[in-house]
């Protein structure tokens, strides 16, 4: 249920903590087992501004990302490094929505889902 309808997933690990990279692999496994088949996966190695205390080699993370056909990028949330670039890469890989209205070339329609039925007591 959690992944239903997701077009993309960004899985983040801390480059200064090897255990966070191991946990990332578990999240990838979970996503592959329960997520949509065509979901775009991106792996972000965060805190690249702390490279002097790095525990996860870039090469290892990049090879893992390639092995699962994921986007890979190292980022720094603190310094806003590669954040926008990561989302741009993701957006280029998400397939366009199917256009059901032939007259509308650059727009899409938002619809509101009906509220869930509530059960009343008594």
pTM: 0.74
Res 109: pLDDT? 66
Q: Stretch 33-41: mean pLDDT, rounded?
A: 90
The stretches of 18-121 forming alpha helices (DSSP H) are 18-34, 58-67, 83-93
- Contact 1/35 with Cβ under 8 angstroms? no
Task: Give bridge partners of residue 43 from the DSSP assignment.
Answer: 11, 72
Confidence check: pLDDT of 1 > 60: no
d(CA 36, CA 94): 13
Between residues 100 and 23, which one has the greater pLDDT?
A: 23
33, 2 contact by CB (below 8 A) = no
CB atoms within 10 A of CB 86: 20
- In whole angstroms, give the CA distance from residue 24 to residue 22: 5
> What's the DSSP call for residue 13?
E
pLDDT of 95 reads 81
At 61-100, the pLDDT tens digits run: 999 999 999 999 999 999 999 999 999 999 999 888 765 4
Instruction: Check if the beta carbon of residue 20 is closer than 8 Å to that of residue 13.
Output: yes
pLDDT of residue 35: 87
Coil, strand or helix: which one is 53? helix
């Amino acid at each position: 249920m959690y992944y239903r309808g997701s077009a993309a997933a960004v899985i983040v690990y801390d480059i200064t903590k090897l255990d966070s990279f191991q946990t990332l692999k578990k999240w990838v496994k979970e996503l592959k087992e329960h997520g949509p088949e065509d979901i775009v996966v991106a792996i972000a190695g965060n805190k690249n501004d702390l490279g002097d205390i790095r525990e996860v080699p870039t090469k290892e993370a990049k090879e893992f990302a390639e092995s699962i056909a994921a986007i890979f990028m190292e980022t720094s949330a603190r310094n806003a490094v590669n954040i926008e670039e990561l989302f741009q890469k993701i957006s280029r890989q998400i397939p366009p929505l199917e256009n059901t209205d032939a007259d509308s070339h650059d727009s899409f329609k938002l619809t509101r889902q009906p509220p869930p039925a509530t059960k009343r007591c008594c």
